Structure formats: C-alpha cells, structure tokens
Amino acid sequence: MLAKRIIPCLDVDSKGQVVKCINYKDPKTAGDPVELAIYYYKEGADELVFLDIAASIESRELMKDLIKKVAQNIFIPFTVGGGIKTVADMKELLKAGADKVSICTSAVKDPGLIRKGAYKFGSQCIVVSIDVKKNHKKNNWEVYIYGGRKNTGIDAAKFAKKSEKLGAGEILLNSLDRDGTNKGYDLEILKKISNSVGIPVIASSGAGNPEQILEGFTKGCADAALAASIFHYKRYSIREVKKYLRERGVEVRL
C-alpha cells in the first residue's frame, strides 16, 4: 500500500505573502513563504504546494525568484501553480526548482496544454487543479476558473477523467464551497472523482482537524490531503496529524 501524503499549501498573493481565504475571498496574511516552507519541511511534510493565487487574474508571470528561494531550502517534492499558460512557462518553473506544475484555468481553456506538458516533461510532472462548486439544481459539481470567479458549466467528474486521458499525473481537487471553512472536505465529490480516475487525487479545501483529514482518506478515498490554515496558524502540527492517522491504521511516513 502506498503511504498517504500530507501536503501543506502556500497560497501566495501578489505581495509575495502567504494568505488564507474563506471561499476564495477576504485573504488574511499567514506568513512568509520561505520561512513556512522550511518549517513544514522540518515538520515532516511529504510535499509542498505553492500557488500564486492572483497570477491568472492579473495576467502576470509567477514569482520565479521567490519560487527559487523556496526550492533551495526544501528537499521534498515541490509543486508550483498559478498563471501557467504555456509549456515554456512550465519549463521556467521547473528550472526555478519546481518538481511539478499545477494548471487550473489554462487546463480548462486549453486542454491540449495537459497533453503537451505531459509529453515534454512526463505525466508525473503535471497536476491538474480543479476548482469545483456544487450546482444544487443539477445535483452535480461544476468547474470554475480564474480563482473561482467564473463558472464554466463543465461537469467536474467528466473533466477529471478527460484530464487523466490527456496525460495528467494527479488531480488536485479544490472545493469552493469548503475553502477556508474548516468544515472538512467535500467528501461526496472527492469520492466520486477518486473512484472514477486511476491517477492520485489530492483532497483540498476545508480541513480543520485530523479527524477530517482521516475522513478524506477513508470516506473520500483520496491519495493525499492538502491543508493550509490548520498548519499556518499552528492549530495542529504535521507530526500530530500523521501520528493520529497512523494510530488509526492509515499508512503515512513518520
């Protein structure tokens, strides 16, 4: 059995600071990205995700210098996303120290970018980040782009399958309904997508305590759990979460 992964997430604003939002709104400063990256690396994080949350909206390049500083101080897999539009953008981030690239808006607008990236760098390098929100009238989850600002009307489960076929190596599933709420992951759509694709799915948005992370694995069938505020504000440490999971039969790297 593959070990389940615990992945802290650094949502970085245009000022280069880590922030935390609720439902993708009202960002509050949570710290310096380099300092937090080092702290999480020493704490035993399995991977680290760095998302430039305003790059797509502001149509600008990612902060390559800041990404390079983070990469130089950690020795675990490092995923970077936000504002990636071309294979050339991917190459620049990999040169800056990223191990994987995460594409969201561009994957929806230009699905061929998934295939091009996978062909150039390998599927293991391409993470498709899907922002979803439930449509209660249709009883399904739809894909949003531009940081949760625009609904595409695309069915999330179908898009996840399409991303896999195009060469994505992982799916990062973000819930607009649960983001920053600490109410737990959206287990229904998490399980649906986890069971419909053959690539790893990372649960994201809503983790508020170790019990909810456990549910992401046991009820949501996720392969990895991403969390932010519970770690940023030191409500729980990564070590505490992993110890809790191990005691309940979940295979994790201690």
Query: Is 89 among the catalytic positions?
Result: no
Q: Which amino acid is at 150?
A: K
Residue holding tokens 């539009």? 85
Q: Residue 44: count other Cβ atoms within 10 Å of its Cβ.
A: 16
Domain boundaries, the chain: 5-247
CA distance 65 to 54: 16
Residue from 10, 74, 64 nearest 41 by CA: 74
- C-beta separation of 131 from 7 below 8 A: no
Which of these is catalytic: 11, 52, 89, 179?
A: 11
The string of pLDDT tens digits covering residues 183-197 is 999 999 999 999 999
Q: What's the average model confidence in pLDDT over 7-33? A: 81
Q: How confident is the model at residue 169 (pLDDT cuts 50, 70, 90)?
A: very high
Q: How confident is the model at residue 140 (pLDDT cuts 50, 70, 90)?
A: very high
How big is the chain by its Cα radius of gyration, in Å? 16
Q: At 39, is the secondary structure helix, strand, or coil?
A: helix
The string of pLDDT tens digits covering residues 53-85 is 766 555 556 788 999 999 999 999 999 998 899
- For the question of whether the overall pTM of this predicted structure is more than 0.85, the answer is yes
Fold of 5-247: TIM Barrel (3.20.20)
Query: Is 131 among the catalytic positions?
Result: yes
CA distance 46 to 197: 22
- pLDDT score of 180: 87
- pLDDT score of 23: 66
- pLDDT score of 61: 67
- pLDDT score of 59: 58
Which of these is catalytic: 89, 131, 179, 186?
A: 131
